[in-house]
Structure 1
Amino acid sequence: MENLLRNHSTLVALAFLLTGCAAGGVPQSGPHLSPTECQELTALKSNPSPTKEQRRAELSALRKAGYDPSPWNDDPNYPADLHEAQRLIAQWMETDCK
């Protein structure tokens, strides 16, 4: 059951990364994603079986975007806050990962 929930959240995150949703009006003051994160997140889009490194890059990016995936965090705004973080990551990928 736990693996199913993890896989579901990963698929949801991947789906939003693939859609290319972008949040408007977010100021850009430099790169938000490292070159390694850009590489791993780009590879994640085309890899049905993500590697540990790709999952770590995704988690790192989600945390940078303000999402806390802690299982002990009873988040009343889930999944809206996850979706917002995914939109930010998609925007960052467009600006940081050229």
Structure 2
Amino acid sequence: MRNASRIASILPAFVILLAGCATRGMPYAGPHLTPAECRDLAALRTNAPPTMAQHQSELAALRKAGYDPSPWYDPYYPDDLQAAQHLVDYWFQTECQHLQPG
């Protein structure tokens, strides 16, 4: 519970920081996720067995959201991964509506 409140308190600042770093202070007007990433993320939300390509799309989206899985030791893990997952979920909800059950 303590980690959840900590994440909730830093998430807005993290999103603003990422937006500022990625765009050099200018708002980004285009989609963050490609159509293939939308399709693969939608498929991962089903109970179907995932493919390697779907996992690679998910990792590409997480990297766009600021997550870097390469460090041997990451003192911010799992908080940084969870923040990136929340951002990718937000992008999915806002950019991939045509693939969501409704």
Distance 1:88 1:50 in 2: 21
Q: Paired residue for 2:76? A: 77
Question: Relative contact order (alpha carbons < 8 A, sep ≥ 6): 1 or 2 greater?
Answer: 1
When normalised by structure 1's length, the TM-score is: 0.67
1:29 aligns with 2:29: yes
- The 5 Å alignment of 1:3-82 reads 29-70=29-70, 72-82=71-81
* Consecutive unaligned residues in structure 1, runs of 5 or more: 1-22
Kindly provide the amino acid, as one letter, of the partner of residue 81 in structure 1.
Answer: D
Letter in 1 for 2:94: T
TM-score, L = length of structure 2: 0.65
Aligned-partner Cα distance in 2 for 1:41–1:80: 21
2:93 aligns to what? 94
The one-letter amino acid paired with 2:41 is: L
Q: CA 1:29 to 1:73, structure 2 compared with 1: closer, same or farther past 3 Å?
A: farther
If you compute each CA radius of gyration, which structure gives the higher value, 1 or 2?
A: 2
Shift of 1:47: 3.4
Q: Partner of 2:45: helix, strand, or coil?
A: helix
Following superposition, the deviation at residue 73 of structure 1 comes to 3.1
Q: Give the aligned CA root-mean-square deviation in angstroms.
A: 1.9
Q: Runs ≥4 in structure 1, deviation > 3 angstroms?
A: 23-28
CA distance in 1, matches of 2:74, 2:47: 29
